[in-house]
Amino acid sequence: MNSTESRHTNNWAVLVSTSRFWFNYRHMANVLSMYRTVKRLGIPDSQIILMLSDDVACNPRNAFPGFVYNNADRQLELYGDNIEVDYRGYEVTVENFIRLLTDRWPDEQPKSKRLLTDENSNIFIYMTGHGGDEFLKFQDSEEISSYDIADAFEQMHEKKRYNEIFFMIDTCQANTMYSKFYSPNILAVGSSDLHESSYSHHSDTEIGVAVIDRFTYFSLEFLENLEKDSKLTLQDLVDSYTFEKIHSNAGVRKDLFQRDLSQVLITDFFGNVQQTVVDNVEDDLLYLTNYDERGNLRNFTSEETPRVAPKRDAKLVNQKNHMISFASQKSSGISSSTLGSVAVAIGSLLALAKFFKI
């Protein structure tokens, strides 16, 4: 495979807010903002796992009940009818996060709450909350370490559960969380270096707390300029992180990643790939019916003329002779009307086979 090309066929996103309590409003806004972005760029809810450890929209302190905003102007509401939360409240645990990545679930676990990826999947993993040197808090009651995530990624690699992973984390000392990764095809970025804090961007005086973190704010500012056919790369995203904007040293780890970031489209992770394979069997049969072995259009009466396929190069006919032998048709005296009937019958059988998935 060319190191500049992606071979993935599907995209998934895992978005995790690990903090509880009203004063951590910004962490829920962070993850809901990322959720909105990946949906806008084409990843469907069926391929997004959203984990929210608290529901600030329904918190009695919320001056705007049922609403969550990421900007003081409150022009964009993040918590609407189109949100699908997969893990909520006390379901957001270290154990469930590890089970999600490794797909180690009991049989009764709903498919909608599983990460159903394969070796052709590109996965974007975003985490936000309170952290420290090589750990991230969950619910203020437990922690996940950089070793835990590294080992989970290795299990995913051994089980062929991903093609490439883009890991992004916004927390204090975030860059330490990817220091122990050792599995291939993983790119990681973080908001702050060892002994550095990750700062909020601004507060809303009516809500009374900070509504978004700086690293996530400027990531979203960059991503909001993207469309589904954008040619911007991950290198462009990484280059946009400056100390003047973020007030900390954002980091990137790319030694495990095989491709040059300047050749990796952002939509390889934030967009959605839909690759289809067109079955030309029916078209081939119609061509063989309508043209002779020399590529000339057959002479049909007005009653006998079937739907004519686009004319092709005559040299292709010889490649199709294994399907129908024109010589045998002539020697057997098969009429044009019979050929037309055969083509219609075969087309009907193919349609039935597709309908019943035979």
What is the reported pLDDT for 272? 85
Architecture of domain 10-270: 3-Layer(aba) Sandwich (3.40)
What is the reported pLDDT for 284? 60
What is the reported pLDDT for 332? 43
pLDDT, tens digit, 9 for 90 and up, residues 19-33: 999 999 999 999 999
What is the reported pLDDT for 7? 86
Taking a C-beta distance cutoff of 8 angstroms, is the pair 8, 165 a contact?
no
Annotated domain spans of the chain: 10-270, 281-355
pLDDT, tens digit, 9 for 90 and up, residues 241-250: 999 999 999 9
pLDDT, tens digit, 9 for 90 and up, residues 247-286: 999 999 999 999 999 999 999 999 887 655 455 555 566 6
The more confidently predicted of residues 94 and 6 is 94
Q: Span 107-117, mean pLDDT?
A: 95
pLDDT, tens digit, 9 for 90 and up, residues 157-171: 999 999 999 999 999
pLDDT band at 308 (very low <50, low <70, confident <90, very high): very low
**Least confident range of 229-233, 242-246, 344-348:** 344-348
pLDDT band at 66 (very low <50, low <70, confident <90, very high): very high
Q: Which amino acid is at 58?
A: C
pLDDT band at 1 (very low <50, low <70, confident <90, very high): very low
CA atoms of 97 and 99, how far apart (whole Å): 5
What is the reported pLDDT for 68? 95
What is the reported pLDDT for 27? 97
Taking a C-beta distance cutoff of 8 angstroms, is the pair 50, 87 a contact?
yes
Taking a C-beta distance cutoff of 8 angstroms, is the pair 271, 124 a contact?
no
223: left (phi over 0), alpha (psi -120 to 50) or beta: alpha
> Looking at the annotation, which residues are catalytic?
130, 172
CA atoms of 30 and 202, how far apart (whole Å): 13
